[in-house]
Amino acid sequence: MVTLDTVQTVGVLGAGRMGSGIAQVAATNGYDVVMRDIERTDLDAGLDAIERSLDRFVEEGRLDSADAAAAQGRITGTTDFGDIARADVVVEAVIEDMAVKKEVFRDLDDVTDDNVVLASNTSTLSITSIAAVTTRPELVVGIHFMNPVALMDGVEIVAGEKTGEKTVEFAHTLAEDLGKTTWESDDKPGFVVNRVLMPWINEGIRLYDEGVATKSDIDRGLKLGTNVPMGPLELADHIGLDVVLDASQTLTEELGDRYKPAYLLKRKVEAGDLGKKTGEGFYEYDR
């Protein structure tokens, strides 16, 4: 199996908010990165997001300009799935849809060397189910980065039914080498973070929809009352309301109505107001 000492290139599937963030963190920590997306426009948007993020890090003094330029130079963008074959480890960060993820992992199983660890950034879906479509389930693991990847310290490691102990150890070590702190979860719906987070966000949305308090007072109350950096409505906007809805629906299917998404959340998504990424969610944002 691949060990951290032999990893030079990290493959990232998906150039969205999570994929581009994973690519940035890997490149900043010295790894070559191949980031693949289906559409060139989505790939270019992801590369642009990385450039803007690195520029902000330089402006804020988190990174010097030479290191930022070096990190950007380590990232190769591609729309060719075959380019992922050169990766020593792959992190999948495509949409939170089991059918799509299974298709991706079938293809990964075909194009990558047999000893390459295949990781999913899924926040709710079963690693066991994803791994089952491959010929190497012992090398499939969940490495769930938090959003925004470049700023959040935590990474959730998820072991599927057949994930090998050495693969789990490798996932912890890789995440730690990227400057992250890890915790581990069994392969249960929602793992640790989203199993607690989704009901919290949805209840905050219901409070607002029922007129219990203004959105700013709900967020202010939770921040001051529980010492969290963001309130539920702010955080929902930051994650993406569509992502919150998908996660809530998945958990509802698996665990019942206590995870049922708030009505106003569904209405916002249907209206196309998805949060920061569209410029409007519960709050308005500059794009």
Residues that are catalytic: 123, 144, 156, 194
Distance between CA atoms of 208 and 63, rounded to whole angstroms?
Answer: 39
CB 46 within 8 A of CB 19: yes
CB 193 within 8 A of CB 144: yes
3-state secondary structure of 53: helix
Residue type, 126: S
CB 4 within 8 A of CB 84: no
3-state secondary structure of 132: coil
DSSP labels for 142-159? EEEEPSSTTT--EEEEEE
Which tokens belong to 36?
Answer: 């693949």
Residue type, 164: G
Distance between CA atoms of 80 and 71, rounded to whole angstroms?
Answer: 22
What 3 state SS string does 228-245 have?
CCCCHHHHHHHHCHHHHH
Q: Is 107 exposed, middle or buried (0-12, 13-18, 19+ CB in 10 A)?
A: middle
